[in-house]
């Protein structure tokens, strides 16, 4: 039997490489598209949370309450349950529940709140004195956002985005298991269900390489933008 024991991991002749590469591209595509949306939505929500915190006024409080509650809810639902929960909505938005595109809504909805909280706390780390100094120069709120909040927290925003991207990669694998394609799907169907350990191993190694590359690029950008400790 060559599908049992340690040697079963190294039957590389059983690996369908074209399938493997297309699954790899699907994973990369899902991760990148989801991450771009997560970054935009996460920063927007983070800004709303930051700007409405500790403010007086009914609308500020209401907005803060609504966004916090939604963020907390979607951050707390385990991803595998969220996909299933969102199936009908996904079908409406994307038109299908199978394939990499179908995974995007659930990926974004689970990761954006996670990133939004990080963004909010990154903004809180900025020295209040700096914000006030720029305010005293006659800056509008938008100018504060574009010239202070975002530039001053860029390294932290990138570090948070790196962590989020890495969790997105593992989410795509989970999404794959229920039909979204990608390496998770391949490892599950062709690896686990067909008893082909080599495929599982190769898929794992590719995912690891992907994670390492993301981490490396993220670290490089953090270092390049951080001018605090030259």
What is the binding site for other proteins (CB under 8 A)?
127, 129-130, 132-140, 143, 147-148, 151-152, 154, 225, 227-230
CB of 222 vs other proteins, minimal distance in Å: 13
CB of 65 vs other proteins, minimal distance in Å: 21
d(CA 145, CA 124): 13
The residue (of 143 and 219) whose beta carbon lies closer to other proteins is: 143
Structure tokens of 113?
Answer: 């709140």
Helix axes 17-52, 58-76, angle to 10 degrees: 150
The residue (of 130 and 205) whose beta carbon lies closer to other proteins is: 130
CB of 153 vs other proteins, minimal distance in Å: 9
The residue (of 25 and 146) whose beta carbon lies closer to other proteins is: 146
Cα distances from 69 to residues 43, 46, 154, in angstroms, run 17, 13, 26
CB of 191 vs other proteins, minimal distance in Å: 46
Instruction: Count the Cβ atoms, other than its own, within 10 Å of residue 135.
Output: 14
The residue (of 13 and 227) whose beta carbon lies closer to other proteins is: 227
């Amino acid at each position: 039997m060559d599908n049992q024991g340690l040697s079963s991991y190294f039957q590389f002749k059983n690996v369908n490489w074209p399938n493997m590469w297309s699954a790899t591209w699907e994973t990369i595509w899902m991760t990148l598209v989801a991450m771009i949306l997560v970054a935009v939505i996460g920063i927007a929500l983070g800004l709303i949370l930051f700007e409405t915190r500790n403010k007086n006024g009914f609308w500020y409080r209401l907005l803060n309450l609504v966004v916090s509650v939604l963020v907390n809810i979607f951050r707390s639902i385990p991803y595998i349950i969220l996909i299933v929960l969102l199936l009908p909505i996904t079908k409406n938005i994307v038109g299908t529940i199978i394939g990499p595109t179908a995974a995007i809504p659930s990926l974004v909805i689970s990761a954006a709140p996670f990133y939004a909280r990080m963004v909010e706390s990154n903004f809180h780390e900025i020295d209040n004195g700096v914000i006030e100094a720029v305010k005293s120069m006659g800056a509008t709120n938008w100018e504060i956002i574009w010239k202070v909040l975002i530039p001053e927290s860029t390294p932290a925003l990138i570090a948070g985005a790196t962590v989020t991207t890495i969790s997105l990669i593992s989410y795509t694998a989970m999404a794959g298991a229920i039909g979204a394609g990608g390496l998770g799907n391949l490892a599950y169907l062709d690896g686990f269900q067909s008893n082909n350990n080599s495929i599982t191993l190769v898929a794992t190694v590719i995912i690891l390489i992907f994670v390492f590359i993301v981490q490396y690029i993220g670290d490089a950008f953090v270092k390049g933008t951080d001018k605090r400790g030259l």
